Structure 1
Amino acid sequence: MFNRTTVLVLVAALAAGLGLWAAQTFTGPRADAGPTLETVRLLPQARDIPPFSLTAADGNPLTLEQLRGRWTLVFIGFTHCPDVCPTTLAELGQAEKRWSAALPEDARPRILFVSVDPERDSPERAGEYARYFSANALAATADIPTLEHFAKSLGMVFMKTPLPGGSDPEAYTVDHSTQVALLDPQGRFAGLARPPLSPAKLGDDMATLAGAAR
Structure 2
Amino acid sequence: MKKHTIFITIVITLAIGIGMWRESHIRHNNKVSTTPKETQLLTGTALPESKALPPFEFIDQDNHAFNNAQLKDHWSFVFFGYTQCPEQCPRILGALNNVSQRVGPNPMVQYLFVSITPEIDTPEKLKTFFAQDQFKLTRFIGLTGENKNIVALANQLGIYIADETGINIEHIGHSGTILLVNPKGELSALFTTAENPHRIAHDFKDLMSVYARS
How would you bin the TM-score normalised by the shorter chain? 0.7 to 0.9
Single out whichever of 46-55 and 201-210 deviates more from structure 2: 201-210
Q: Please show how residues 145-184 of structure 1 align to structure 2 within 5 Å.
A: 145-159=148-162, 160=164, 162-163=166-167, 173-184=171-182
| Residue of 31, 49, 53 corresponding to 2:53 | 49
Contact 2:40-2:46 at 8 Å conserved across structures: no
Question: Partner of 1:113 in structure 2?
Answer: 113
Unaligned residue ranges in structure 2 (runs of 5+): 1-33
Question: Partner of 1:93 in structure 2?
Answer: 97
Question: Partner of 1:18 in structure 2?
Answer: none
Q: In the superposition, relative to structure 1, how do residues 162 and 172 fare at CA in structure 2: closer, same or farther (>3 Å)?
A: farther
Contact 1:181-1:189 at 8 Å conserved across structures: yes
Name the one with the larger helix percent. 2
Q: CA deviation at 1:210?
A: 2.4
Q: CA deviation at 1:134?
A: 3.0
Q: CA deviation at 1:123?
A: 1.8
Q: Please show how residues 5-84 of structure 1 align to structure 2 within 5 Å.
A: 33-34=37-38, 36-84=40-88
Contact 2:95-2:194 at 8 Å conserved across structures: no
Question: Partner of 1:14 in structure 2?
Answer: none
When normalised by structure 2's length, the TM-score is: 0.73
Q: Distance in 2 between matches of 1:162 and 1:73?
A: 31
Q: CA deviation at 1:201?
A: 0.8
Tell me the amino acid that sits aligned with residue 190 of structure 2: L
Q: Distance in 2 between matches of 1:145 and 1:56?
A: 17
Q: In the superposition, relative to structure 1, how do residues 146 and 98 fare at CA in structure 2: closer, same or farther (>3 Å)?
A: same
Q: Distance in 2 between matches of 1:122 and 1:131?
A: 14
| Residue of 138, 142, 145 corresponding to 2:141 | 138
Q: 1:70-101: per-residue Cα shift (whole Å, max 9, x none)?
A: 2211001111100000000001100110011x
Q: CA RMSD in A?
A: 2.2
How many pairs align? 175
Q: CA deviation at 1:32?
A: 5.5
Unaligned residue ranges in structure 1 (runs of 5+): 1-29, 165-170
Question: Partner of 2:186 in structure 1?
Answer: 188
Q: CA deviation at 1:43?
A: 1.3
Q: CA deviation at 1:33?
A: 4.7
Q: Distance in 2 between matches of 1:211 and 1:97?
A: 19
What SS does the aligned partner of 1:42 have? strand
What SS does the aligned partner of 1:206 have? helix
Q: CA deviation at 1:145?
A: 0.9
